[in-house]
Every structure is written in structure tokens, then in C-alpha cells.
Amino acid sequence: MGKNQSAAPSFIHIGERIQQLDMLLHVQEFSSMVVLVTGEVGSGKSSLLQAAVSQLSVHHQVLVIDAVTSSSEASLIQQISQQLACDDSLRAIDAALMKVSQQNDSVHLVIDDAHLLEESAFNLIVRKAILDHSWHLVIGGDKGLQSRLDNFQQELKQENTYHLIQLASFNESESNQFIEALFQKAGQDFSELTDKKRHQLWLLSDGLPGKLVDLVELEKETYRKLSSKFPVGHVAAIFLIGTALIFSYFYQNEAVPVAQDDVIAELLAQKTQPKNQFNGEKVKAETVKESVPHEVITAMQKTEDADKEQESLLAQTVTPKSDELPVSDIKTSPNSIPRPTKSTQLIAPPVQMTVKSSHPLLDAQPQGYALQLLGVRNKKSAQDFMRRFERQLNSEKLNVYETKYKGQPWFVVVYGPYSNKKNANQEAVSLARSLRSQPWVRPVSKIQEDIRKLNSK
């Protein structure tokens, strides 16, 4: 479905999710009803759809569409025709579907993020499912899809055309089962997490599996960083002592360090009672400090004191006193720089501070190129797309800007920039494999022109 595996982990059979998957498969096998899977962001819609695709594809032909990259009617027809191996037209698609039907088989169309579909594309897939019975349809997305299906039913003057599967958050028991399954899949020991830690993870995630995945990864990353973070420049003896002490912690009965426990606890505290940023940094610094053995802290402080002393001596040598600069060398012009004396030759030139433009893309070189990944009417949809792919792509290269299309607001997600068109084309080919659509190579100058037009109004 074009999703990063970390963003949409393998389906884990837990509690109500088992019955919901069974019901989805039952409806697809024995009825012509549309199946709608909805729920909050991170509730596991994509994982459930992936599990359904895996089982349906054993006996049927399954077409998988991601509306993030195929939201228009034209792009939808193109994706369906490619997977049916036919010409790019509705007539050719109908002929291919008829051929499958004559072989006593069925076609199942599964669309993730279907709320991003344009109205014409949405009407096309639903009509062909309900009226023409061309395919069995499963769609996943936000709660707005239910209203669209209700409106469609009213237009057709029909009822019970779809079956709703609404994914709820995990309770604490289900959350623990889910985390344990994640650890097992990674070949790790679930007992490393204390009961307190598991409870904190459940509270912080609101019981949403997508958030649980991210928090468990954060927990592991924090543990790795805490275990290996030593100041560069320590003497070998200090390093060996610190390493020995850290390794001794691993073999204690309580396998999780205090600091790891405190990181999630701090996030939980920030969720329930926002703190001042500077107070938060202080707490974090004190937390890390408390988790490091006393011998290592003492060595670190000695090293830092020595470094500060060296920096002080260097500053006294390099930095001139105000009375060492001859009066004749001081210029009144704001653009002039005092002529360096012998004692000031090591001083770096003043840093020129630049003021950033109102949009990051306006600071890019206009002769460069960028890749247009998505264009939608809704700003939230564009932001959801960026959040979804920010771990798979370089988040610093992802940007969204607003323009006008047919007189209405239009939000465009772009990736880049690239110094030349050749590099942009190469990246477009590479991204097409993961996004399952071909990004559009555009000059940065044209993008900047679009942004300035809107800002000037």
C-alpha cells in the first residue's frame, strides 16, 4: 500500500481485532456490501487492510490502491488498469473485469486513505461496487467516509449498502499484549519492561497501536543512546570504568535503567500538565545525570573543568582588550571591520545574520528543481501525507505550500530541492517505487512564483 513498514506494522491478532478481520473477510466473500474501516489516526486501519489483502489474495485477485498518491479519477483508473494489465480506460477495465468473472473468480478493490479521493473518483468506485457489482470494495479512512456513503445511499434510494468496522483504542490488557507481540517479532525480551513502564506507555499512547509502535521505538532508542553516550576526549581508564559500570547495570534484576523510565514519565507529565520549555530541559538534564554512575559523573566533571580552563586561557590569548585597538583603526562606517592587530589575527570575521523568507522554498535556488508528490484541496490531508512519509523520506526536504487551482485553495506537497533536473529525475524514479505514483519534476522558480502570487494578494 505504499506505506512504510514502521508506520504500518504487521497485523497482530488481539481482542476485538480478530473478530473485525473475520467479519471483513466474511462480508467480502459472501456479499456485495462495501466494507468501511474507520477510526482515529493510529488506530490500525492500514494494518487491518494489509491483513485482509494478505488473506483475500490467496484465492482472489486483489487490487490495492493508496489514495494518498492516487486521489483523482484519472490516476485511479491508471492504477487499476496497471494492476489488471489492460489499457488505460474504463472500457478496458470493464472488459478485464468481465474476463475475471467468466472464470468464476472475483476482484476485490482495497483502498487505503479513501477520504482523500476526489468526489468523481469516490463515486466511480462505489457505483461500480454497488450498482454494477464489478468488484468487492473495502475502503479505509477517517470518519467523513461514513457521511459520504450515507449521502450516496440516499441518492440511490438504497439501504444497507455498506458494513461499518470502527476500530477502537486498546484497553490496558490489549496494549500489553500488543507491546509483547512487538517485542517477540523483534526477538527481544518483553520482561525488560516493568509494569510501571507498560502502564505509562498505555496512558501516553491513548491505547492507539500506531502511537504504541512509535513509543516503543522511542524507548529502545533512548535506551541505546543512554547506554553508549560518553563525552569524547575521556581518557582510556575513565572509558573502561564507565563501560564496566554500564554493563554491570545490564545484569541487575531491574534491566531497565532509571533514566529510560523517566523519559516516558516526562512525556506523560508533559501530556497531562504542559511545562515551561526551560524547566523541561532542566528536568531532562537532571534525569540523565541521576542515571549515570557517580564515578563516571566525577570523571566527566573533571574533564569538563579542564576543558573550560583551556578555553579560558585560549580566550585570554586570542581576545584583545578594548584598549589594545588603536583609535585610528576604529571606523565609524557600519560596513567596515577594524584592522586586526597582532593579537587579533585569530578572530573570526563577523557572522552575517540572514533573515529567512516567509516560506522555506523561497530561500531555495530558483534554478533548482523539486518533486511534486501531492496536490489536494484540504490542508490537513497534505499534512497527514507529510507525517505519514516523514520517516520514510527526509523530513527536512518535505514542504507544503498553498496556491490556487480553479479558483479554490490547493495545497501542494513537494520534496527537494535538487540542484539539477537530472538528479531530480533520478530521485523521482526511486520514489515512484515506494509511493506507487510518479512524482512530478517542477522548477523551483515556478513553485516560488506560485507562492509569491498568493502572498501578494
What pLDDT is attached to residue 328? 40
Q: What is the pLDDT of residues 72-100, one digit of tens each?
A: 999 999 999 999 999 989 999 999 999 98
Angle between helix axes 73-84 and 90-102 (nearest 10 degrees) is: 40
Beta strands in 235-382 (DSSP E): 369-376
What's the CA dihedral at 2, 435, 211, 188 to 10 degrees? 60
What whole-number distance in Å separates Cα of residue 123 and Cα of residue 63? Answer: 17
Residue type present at position 370: A
- Positions in the chain short of pLDDT 70: 1-11, 222-357, 405-406, 433-438, 457
Contacts of 120 (CB under 8 A, 6+ apart): 72, 73
Q: What is the pLDDT of residues 23-36, one digit of tens each?
A: 999 999 888 899 99
Pick among 1.10.10.60, 3.30.1490.20, 3.65.10.10, 3.30.70.1070: CATH of 361-455? 3.30.70.1070
C-alpha cell at 301: 566533571
Pick among 1.10.287.1080, 3.30.2130.10, 3.40.1170.60, 3.40.50.300: CATH of 16-167? 3.40.50.300
Burial of residue 315 (number of CB atoms within 10 Å: 0-12, 13-18, 19+): exposed
| pTM summary value | 0.53
- Name the DSSP class of 9: P
What whole-number distance in Å separates Cα of residue 153 and Cα of residue 128? Answer: 14
What pLDDT is attached to residue 5? 38
Domain boundaries, the chain: 16-167, 172-295, 361-455
Contacts of 263 (CB under 8 A, 6+ apart): 218, 219, 222, 284, 287
Q: Given its phi and psi angles, is residue 192 left (phi above 0), alpha (psi -120 to 50 degrees) or beta?
A: alpha
What pLDDT is attached to residue 258? 41
